[in-house]
Structure 1
Amino acid sequence: MQLFPNTTIKEFAQCEHAEFITVQVHNDLAHGICIHDEDAKKWFLVLDAEDERLRHRLILPERGREVKSFGSDWSISPIGPALSRHTAMDHPGALVQSREGVFLVGVATGEFFDPVLCRLDEPGVWYNYGSALGSFAYEGWRIHYRERDTQAIQKLAAKEPTSNDAE
């Protein structure tokens, strides 16, 4: 018997950077990515949840929280038209590619719910995102997982473009 996709159950504290995981948050299953900041603090960037208020939030689950891990062997593809570089940060969940790296726009949990850039290609959470504004950004994207043994592809998450904010 094979389980597809090949997933494991582990504690959130054991997650690697950019690992795609499912977590239970407030009696809701949320799907997203474990993001490490520059100080190795582990965050959960919610990409999909039944509660829309959780989507694109950067939250801090308890370290002992169990998660279902899909690993970090996934790919992300932009879909739809490019966003205007001046409004990318106004679109939580937007995919941003710059000379500095590849990011998703998240929303910091706290008093002000400020936008943050969550780096995917290496650890990093940017609250000062000025240099990334000259980048390419897309409101929509798809994340896919390819099973190594069978080469089967499964969509893990997607954000469909909804705006007319193309350049």
Structure 2
Amino acid sequence: MTTTPPPEPRYWLMKSEPQECSIDDALAAPDATVPWTGVRNYQARNFMREGMQVGDGVLFYHSSCPEPGIAGLARVASATRPDPTQFDPESPYHDPKSRPDQPRWLLLDVQALRKTRLLPLAEFRARPELAGLQVLQKGSRLSITPVDAADWKRVVDVLDAAPPA
């Protein structure tokens, strides 16, 4: 009998507006786990549905704030399921065209592992070794982007090192 080895870990950069859910909010949640609601881009949704697996690493990125950047490390903590905010008329993420029997939008749970120093976007841009990250590509506005293993290691090494003077 042969067994298939588990898949290689995958890595992702996930953007959250800190006024919606910051790394501190995630760390303060029960089991440091939050549902990642409000994804309303088909490509980002497809990454969640088809690419993300429990245990994958996450760069927790604060966006749409005075100083955007990576604020912590997390992991994917659940499989996908329908995002209930799409059905709630009071939610800013309501989608009147989505139906419970055919939901358009998904969420998964993210577990915060640790807060890091802020790695601001300006520092990203100043580091040639991080130039391959999708978040730095012109026109990239996706809330979820894949990160390859080498870039993950580079980012974690930068986060663990002292910030530039």
* Superposition TM-score, scaled by structure 2 size: 0.25
Which one has more relative contact order, counting CA pairs under 8 Å at least 6 apart? 2
Q: Choose between structure 1 and 2: higher strand proportion.
A: 1
Q: Choose between structure 1 and 2: higher helix proportion.
A: 2
